[in-house]
Structure 1
Amino acid sequence: MRHISITAQIGIGMIGGALLGLAFGPKIAGVQLLGNIFLRLIQMVVVLLIFGAVIEALGSLKSDQLGRLGGKTAMWFLITTLIAAVLGLAIGYAVNPGSGIKLASVSTSATVAKAGTNFSQTVLDFFPTNIFDALAKGNVIQVIIFAILFGIVLNRANTDGKFNQVLRFVKQINQLTVKLVMLVMKLAPIGIAALMAWVTATSGIKVILPLLKFLTAFGLGSVAFLIVLFGFISWYAKVPLRGLVRGFSRIILVAFTTTSSAISLPIEMEDAESRLGVEKSISQLVLPLGMALNSNGLAMYLSLSCLTLTQLYGMSVSPMSMVKIVLLSVIACLGTVVVPGGGLVALTIVVPTLGLPLQRIAILAGIDWFSGMFRTVLNVVGDTTTAIAVASDEKLLNRDPYKVHADKMAPKHNL
């Protein structure tokens, strides 16, 4: 009997769950509990996984690699995020998603928590006062800040091998954490099926219809971004395009169905190393950092959302406002919540700064789950392609997995 891959199982779970929700409606909404249990099991180890991975990655690097890798990673993050934000504006103007939507039929009640818009306070909140409090609350950006500093100190103090035992202990904890995550991922098909059943049971198809144009625009922008990014990375890293796309298949599916960069991270790290040939030292540094600091999908979502809101209310957007939208979209990505719903929190930072009433983001709340699918795919693909580019620069990219994938896809001829 042929074994069904976890990727296929997740796909079957997604489709089956959606059909169950549509067939039984609200009567089956209680199945959400299974999906929430799955999400919590993943979330309980994600912060520990990030914490240990960053420390191990920085602690294991040679001193001359430390600054070089950090600079390259930051450069790639900034470039891809800017491109995504600009592309969001371009797609918004091309599709004009804000036209033809009746606001009178949409509730204007607040549906998201109000977030502070003070930039200084936002930056200050990146830095923890108590690392144990940050770990307990799952504050990813604060955990990463501490892990970066601890990893740098460990790297510099361990030049003579005095702290090898500490580094070895961190590596062992990381190995056990990854094993735990992989165990939990066996429940992914059931958990994702339950979540999809709940979404369609409680909202039905009608949740998409009022803003179908917005979702279409976001989908088109996402596809365009992926085509450009895959094409460029295939050329830059000198890897076959087919093998590259195939290597990303499971990452994209998990990101699309869970709508969470944090939950996708374990699969992202595993496939980056085993299916995309990225050296472990690179993936453990770039991917956790990218999860908190590089949000290509969120940048595109924010710029497209702001433009859509101005179109809904017939407001003109000046060239300076366009620049402001792009810059705010990039800045708001720093430290944004990496679990489902984080996009709406980021909007509460950007929208008031543009002079738009905060209540106007309520119109996007009903489809946040669906727009989150596109956001998360672009986020994780952007992070992983950055890891591939950095690994290629450092001569730490194994191209054999791409050849294997290419061979599997090539037609076979009988001689």
Structure 2
Amino acid sequence: MKKISFSLQILIASALGILAGILFGESMGNVSFLGTIFLRLIQMSVVLLVMSAIIESVGSIEPADIGKIGIKALVLFVLTTVVSAVMGVLMVNIIKPGVGITGVLPGKYEGQIFSISIPQLITEFFPKNVIQSMVEGNMVQVIVFSIFFGLAISLTRHSEGSKRVYALAVDFGKVIMEIIKMVMRFAPVGVFALLGSITGTIGVGVIVPLVKFLAATFITCIAILMLNLGIVSAYARVNPLKVLYKLKNTIIVSIATTSSAISLPVQMEDCEKKLGISPRISRLVNSLAMSLNSDGLAVTIAISCLMIAQFYGIELSLQQQIVIVAVSTLSTLGNLLVPGGALVAVSIALNMTGLPLEGIALIAGVDWFAGIARTFLNVVDDVLCTFFIAVSEKEFNRDIFDKNT
């Protein structure tokens, strides 16, 4: 008997949760504790998972490559991710997926939303005690420490001590990843309980924001792709349609698998044999991009945070929305390559902003569909960043590109 995929399990659990909420109403609140347990289990290992993922990614960079190419790559990653988060925020303000639901009262929220000035925000990026940051779940500070830790390993990578520390970080990350995988097996039960409780207490109109959420995600991802493709094609002086055609195998694999990791080998092959990017640039930048550049995930996080805020009737100022852009960018670091990884990343962002974590149930049921647009944008934008760097470093072979392959 063929095993039901994780995505299908989530879809079935979501449908059953909504149906149970309609049939049993407020009594579904009695099973909400199962959803709370699921959310706690996600939070349990998130700090350690993010630390190990970032340390492994940054620590893997060769010191010789941290120079010009590495800086170019990181600047491009940050720039494209920030632009993606900004466009996600703009799209939510236009479509408003979390408001205007006829006959449905906004969800109740009794927590405290973040309120911080921009100078305070920048200062709070830097930890004074990383252990305290870990205990408090301050993910921004944990991420900043992890970047420094990874850079220190990279710069001393040839010493035996650093090699052992790096190997320990990699092995530790694998163990934490297994914990996350175990927790995600409980996801269908958690999603069923959360959506059943929300639907039972709020009403069937909860389905409306899901459709609007998907519309906002797909429109934003397509707009970002067209923008980046246009800029890079103009810089390289190539036909943008020809670029997409040469990436057809990468695009098909990314859509079919919704996995950046699975797409990576095909992505590198297309870069080297069809676009004419040198193997040195292709293998370094594409590998880094898989973990450190996730424009589609930034879109998902930004749209999710604002939609959840709208659904719970939380008014966000312009300054707070700017903070969400920063949080969306930081939450993509390490790019969790596990089933449901986007849900974990969104939960990190909700923790960082103080928005209600329960709102994650609103997007869980359609995350697989959002994952199609998210992975497609992630993978193609990784290639475009690699292409841009190859052209700037004069490691782009136009003869290969001009071949009809």
Specify if TM > 0.5.
yes
Which moves more between the two structures, 115-124 or 260-269? 115-124
Structure 1 residue 137: Cα displacement:
5.4
Question: How far apart, CA to CA, are the structure 1 residues paired with 2:403 and 2:175?
Answer: 36
Scaled by the length of structure 1, the TM-score of the pair is 0.62
Q: Which residue of 2 aligns with 1:230?
A: 229
Aligned to 1:279: 278
Q: Are 1:366 and 2:365 an aligned pair?
A: yes
Deviation at 1:131, TM superposition (A): 3.5
| Whole-angstrom distance in 2 between the partners of 1:404 and 1:209 | 47
Measure, in 2, the Cα distance between the counterparts of 1:276 and 1:340: 30
Q: Distance in 1 between matches of 2:168 and 2:224?
A: 38
Distance 1:267 1:219 in 2: 23
Return the alpha-carbon distance in structure 1 between the equivalents of residues 230 and 175 of structure 2: 31
Name the residue aligned to 1:40.
none
Question: Structure 1: which amino acid aligns with 2:84?
Answer: A
Counterparts of 2:238 and 2:363, CA distance in 1:
39
Structure 2: gaps of 5 or more residues = 10-55, 110-135, 151-163, 178-205
Moved more, 127-136 or 390-399: 127-136
| Distance in 2, Cα, partners of 1:301 & 1:79 | 17
Decide whether aligned partners of structure 1 residues 323 and 31 sit closer, same or farther in structure 2, where only a CA change above 3 A counts.
closer
Range that drifts further, 307-316 or 95-104? 95-104
Residue 121 (structure 1) aligns with: 142
Q: Secondary structure at the match of 1:30?
A: coil
Percent of pairs with identical residues: 38
Match in the other structure for 1:179? none
**May I ask how many residue pairs the two structures share in their alignment?**
290
How much is the aligned-residue C-alpha RMSD, in angstroms? Answer: 3.6
Q: Residue 264 of structure 2 corresponds to which residue in structure 1?
A: 265
Give distance in 1, aligned partners of 2:175 and 2:298.
Answer: 19
Contact 1:140 1:335 in 2 (8 A): no
CA distance in 2, matches of 1:96, 1:251: 32
Q: CA deviation at 1:31?
A: 5.2
User: Structure 1 residues 302 and 32 mapped into 2: Cα distance closer, same or farther (>3 Å)?
Assistant: closer
Q: Distance in 1 between matches of 2:283 and 2:270?
A: 12
8 Å CA contact 2:106–2:312 kept in 1: the answer is no
Displacement after TM superposition at 1:133 (Å): 4.0
Contact 2:139 2:352 in 1 (8 A): no
Equivalent runs, 1:99-178 vs 2, <5 Å: 99-101=99-101, 116-124=137-145, 127=149, 130-136=165-171
Structure 1 residues 13-412: aligned runs within 5 Å: 30=3, 32=5, 58=62, 67-101=67-101, 116-124=137-145, 127=149, 130-136=165-171, 211-405=210-404
Q: In structure 1, what is the Cα distance between the partners aligned to 2:270 and 2:86?
A: 29
Residues 340-395 of structure 1: CA distance to partner in whole angstroms, max 9, x if unpaired? 31111111221133221211212111112121221111111121111100000011
Partner amino acid, structure 1, of 2:3 = G
Stretches of structure 1 lacking an aligned partner (at least 5 in a row): 1-27, 37-50, 109-114, 143-206, 409-415
Q: Secondary structure at the match of 2:336?
A: coil
Amino acid at match of 1:299: A
Q: Does the 8 Å CA contact 1:85/1:329 hold for their aligned counterparts? A: yes
Match of 2:198 in 1: none
> 1:259, 1:340 within 8 Å by CA — same for their partners in 2?
no
Deviation of 1:125 (Å): 5.0
CA 1:69 to 1:237, structure 2 compared with 1: closer, same or farther past 3 Å? same
Relative to structure 1, the CA distance from residue 331 to residue 210 in structure 2 (aligned partners, 3 Å threshold; closer, same or farther) is: closer
* Partners of 2:97 and 2:209 within 8 A in 1: no
